[in-house]
Amino acid sequence: MTPLLEVVGASRRGGTRDIVSDVSVGLRPGEMLGLVGPNGSGKSTLLNLMAGLLPPSRGEVRLEGRPLARLRRRQIAQRLAFVAQSAETEDRISVREAVEMGRTPWLEPLRSWSPRDDAAVTAALQAVDMAHMAGRDWSSLSGGERQRVHIARAHAQQPRILLLDEPTNHLDIHHQLGILDLIAGLGATTVIALHDLHHALRCDRVLVMQAGRCVALGPPAAVLTPALIREIFGVEAEIVPHPGEGHPLFAFRKIR
Ligand SMILES: Nc1ncnc2c1ncn2[C@@H]1O[C@H](COP(=O)(O)OP(=O)(O)OP(=O)(O)O)[C@@H](O)[C@H]1O
């Protein structure tokens, strides 16, 4: 079966070196794929390649079997939403208007704004616990509130594929867990760059990046071993069972 999104031997040059180097991965329907790796290992660049925002220098990214390079932005946006790490807007807009932007790919000259669009926006605001701030000026929001609005905008877009670059950044622990539950509950095929390895344990598969290369890909329990964590992140990790019901926990220690 043709993967929804497939990265085929993709590299991306930055300056004099490859910042993503020969990465191949096909997304399975409905899966949540976690991207982990040290700072500067190429996670954001890979997400930008997957979103079609950067063209690969070599290789290809295919959406439903078709090279992204041959699709129009609107065709891509009807299938794929991207929540970038620090998406900003200069415009003076309300929170609701920011989320309404998620409907843009679905509007056409002959299909103007409808109650269906309103319903999608309202549902998205409620899902991220921001409905009570719908009328607020976007620029007045805190970092975490903005992050939730960006996720609501992507939610309102109703994509089959959701790409998220460290979506739990800026969020308090309540909203970190809430957003991860929300993302998992959306049923979209998801790629999510994460720094918290505990969050990565919730993914179906994990892709580990190091210096632009994919060095491991598979179920988190098989991939995130103490040996790999030591090699990639340079820390000791001991895996301890959760005291209640839940994923195991990592106990980290710096290598002296
Ligand atoms: N346009 C560019 N030209 C040159 N180097 C670049 C360019 N864009 C990114 N880089 C470099 O490529 C590397 C990968 O960057 P990227 O942002 O993809 O990493 P990351 O894994 O997402 O990092 P972080 O965890 O810190 O967010 C970094 O060393 C970065 O400095």
pLDDT (average), residues 183-209: 93
pLDDT (average), residues 226-249: 90
pLDDT at 175 over 90: no
Q: What is the pLDDT of residues 97-119, one digit of tens each?
A: 999 999 999 888 777 888 999 99
User: Would the pTM of this model clear 0.90, i.e. be above it?
Assistant: yes
Q: Where are the domains of the chain?
A: 5-79+159-254, 90-158
Using a 6 Å cutoff on CB, does residue 194 contact ligand 1?
no
- Cα 98 to middle of ligand 1, angstroms: 27
Nearest atom (ligand 1) to Cα of 35: 21
pLDDT (average), residues 28-33: 94
- Cα 44 to middle of ligand 1, angstroms: 7
CA 155/CA 158 separation, integer angstroms = 5
CA 155/CA 117 separation, integer angstroms = 12
What does the pLDDT read at residue 88?
A: 66
pLDDT at 190 over 90: yes
Q: Contacts for 194-197 with beta carbons within 8 Å, 24 or more apart? A: 194/34, 194/35, 194/36, 194/166, 194/168, 195/36, 195/166, 196/168, 197/36, 197/224, 197/229, 197/237, 197/250
pLDDT (average), residues 210-216: 97
Fold of 5-79+159-254: Rossmann fold (3.40.50)
